[in-house]
Copies of this chain bind each other. A is one copy, B any other.
Amino acid sequence: MIDKTTTLTEAISAIPDGARIALGGNTLHRGPGAAVHELVRQGKRNLELVKTAGAYDVDLLCAAGCVAAVSAGFIGYETPFGMAPAYRKAVESGRVQAREHACATVIAGLRAAIQGAPFMPVAGLQGSDLPAARGFRTVRDPYSGVEVYVVPALVPDAAILHVQEADATGNGRIIGTRFEDVLMAQAARRVILTAERIVDGEAFADAPETVAIAGFLVDAVVEAPGGAWPFSCTPLYEYDTDYLAAWVSAARDPDTADRFIAERILDPAAAVA
């Protein structure tokens, strides 16, 4: 068995500037918070972020100047905190390109990547301005003659996923909702797993149905207790309401956002995870 455990610093340093990165979880839940903070600390640039529905991860990385483009269906904090202010400003100023998707077209693009197909057909999209704005094309079904929208393969250079338990070979157990993590693990060229704890994987053999991420797809495993924070990590902790409220408030202005990042993320004394 290959021991794939490493440090967060090592795992994230393997991601080059300009990489297309899929981030696990959804809105406020089970995002790879610690890894996102490490991306900020390492000063990554020109990343393309891939997610169906992102929130703090995308917002923070936009504020920190790490992002060139966001390929997602929804970016916002849901009802508790509203819109993502730094993402919004970054797009409005032209610094970040919003490669807007329907969540279903993100999934279709990942599916094409997974299957080794150049594109994936997707039902719907009729009447939307998105296909024209994004250059999504139709093809004619050679059997029925019907036109259907197709989405190009969306191959992440890396997927960064946070799970509750992993073994040293990369098997990852997800408790509760899997979101798009399984698709991302299959679609990406490289998979980085952070885990609340690293356990002896022999126990996984008793309930392999709960192991959402197959170890042979994974390149690096990092033990990161609290590693989803400030996202939730069922059943261990909820999303951090106070922290997120403070961030969203700071993120409305570039200067306060910079100060927040300097004090609460970059300052080693304040190490958040």
Residues of A within 8 A of B (CB): 112, 115-123, 137-144, 146, 148, 150, 152, 207, 209-210
Q: For the complex, what is the distance from the CA of A262 to the CA of B214, rounded to whole Å?
A: 48
Contact of A117 among B122, B142, B210 (CB under 8 A): B122
**Known contacts A209-B209, A209-B210, A210-B209; A118 and B146 CB within 8 A of each other:** yes
**Known contacts A137-B142, A143-B152, A152-B143; A123 and B119 CB within 8 A of each other:** no
Q: Are B143 and A137 in contact (CB under 8 A)?
A: yes
Within the complex, the shortest CB–CB distance from A90 to chain B, in Å, comes to 27
Q: Are A148 and B117 in contact (CB under 8 A)?
A: yes
Q: Which of A115, A120, A148 has the most CB of B within 10 A?
A: A115
Q: For the complex, what is the distance from the CA of A249 to the CA of B142, rounded to whole Å?
A: 44
Q: Please name 12 further chain A to chain B contacts, defined as beta carbons within 8 Å, in addition to the given A117-B122, A117-B123, sorted by A numbering.
A: A116-B123, A118-B121, A118-B144, A119-B121, A119-B143, A121-B121, A137-B143, A141-B150, A142-B150, A207-B210, A209-B209, A209-B210
For A152, list chain B residues within 8 Å (CB): 141, 143-144
The 19 listed contacts between A and B (C-beta, < 8 Å) are A112-B121, A115-B121, A117-B122, A117-B123, A117-B148, A118-B121, A118-B143, A118-B144, A118-B146, A119-B121, A119-B142, A120-B121, A137-B143, A141-B150, A141-B152, A142-B150, A143-B152, A207-B207, A207-B209
Q: When A and B form their complex, which 5 residue pairs have the shortest distance between CB atoms, in order from nearest?
A: A118-B141, A117-B121, A137-B142, A116-B123, A209-B209
Q: For the complex, what is the distance from the CA of A54 to the CA of B156, rounded to whole Å?
A: 37
For A138, list chain B residues within 8 Å (CB): 142
For A123, list chain B residues within 8 Å (CB): 115-117
Q: For the complex, what is the distance from the CA of A142 to the CA of B146, rounded to whole Å?
A: 16
Chain B residue, CB-CB nearest to A150: B142
For A141, list chain B residues within 8 Å (CB): 118-119, 150, 152
